[in-house]
A = this chain, B = another copy of it.
Amino acid sequence: MEDLLNGDPYELDPLEQQVVAFFVDGVRVLGLPRSIGEIYGLLFISQTALSLDDLVRRLHISKGSASQGLRMLKSLGAVREAGDENERRTYYEPAIELKRLAGGFIREQIRPHLESGKTKITRLAETTRDIDDPERRKFLNERVERLETWMRSGGRVLPVLQKLLGQ
């Protein structure tokens, strides 16, 4: 409101835009909304911690988006609240260790699906038992076992992934 004559002083400079765009693309690959990429991107390239209000003003996103975006980023361990405990508002800074980022993503977005997948396969195995035709049942059992193998592989891969990314 207090910018007279000249452009909005909160506008992103070209480099900031480039970085934000980079992360917007990045999070889309992970299936996360663009606002997540914008927020993380701006934090990533900022030398100082930013408040929710800073993000709203500089990215031109709504308070709602910023609030929800920050919540998700916190749950992923991708941002943390900056020190200053006695400040009125809270400021955020990015976690930049790949280990932390990958770990959060695996924990929040991948593991739950793996778990629910295992449950569903168990239920599938039960349904398969009720099939009358023995030949059909044999085929189905093979397929269910295949799914179980997939899940086991998935379970084995995640820790390795985390180890490889954490250094």
**Residues of chain A whose beta carbon lies under 8 Å from any beta carbon of chain B:** 14-15, 18-19, 22, 25-26, 29, 31, 44-45, 47, 96, 98, 109-110, 113, 116-117, 120-121, 123-124, 127-128, 131, 136, 139-140, 143, 146-147, 149-150, 153, 156-157, 160-161, 164-165
Contact A22–B157 (Cβ < 8 Å): no
Contact B124–A19 (Cβ < 8 Å): yes
* Copy count, this protein chain: 2
A21 to chain B, nearest CB (A): 8
Contact B157–A15 (Cβ < 8 Å): no
- Please, which residue of chain B has its CB at the minimum distance from the CB of A144? B19
Contact B140–A15 (Cβ < 8 Å): yes
- Please, which residue of chain B has its CB at the minimum distance from the CB of A124? B18
- Please, which residue of chain B has its CB at the minimum distance from the CB of A15? B127
A90 to chain B, nearest CB (A): 23
Query: When A and B form their complex, which 6 residue pairs have the shortest distance between CB atoms, in order from nearest?
Result: A31-B31, A29-B113, A15-B127, A157-B164, A98-B150, A22-B120
- Please, which residue of chain B has its CB at the minimum distance from the CB of A29? B113
Contact A123–B18 (Cβ < 8 Å): yes
Instruction: State the CA gap A113–B146 with chains docked (Å).
Output: 30
Partner of A157 from B47, B127, B161 at Cβ < 8 Å: B161
Instruction: State the CA gap A64–B108 with chains docked (Å).
Output: 35
A64 to chain B, nearest CB (A): 24
Contact B14–A127 (Cβ < 8 Å): yes
Contact B149–A157 (Cβ < 8 Å): no
A36 to chain B, nearest CB (A): 14
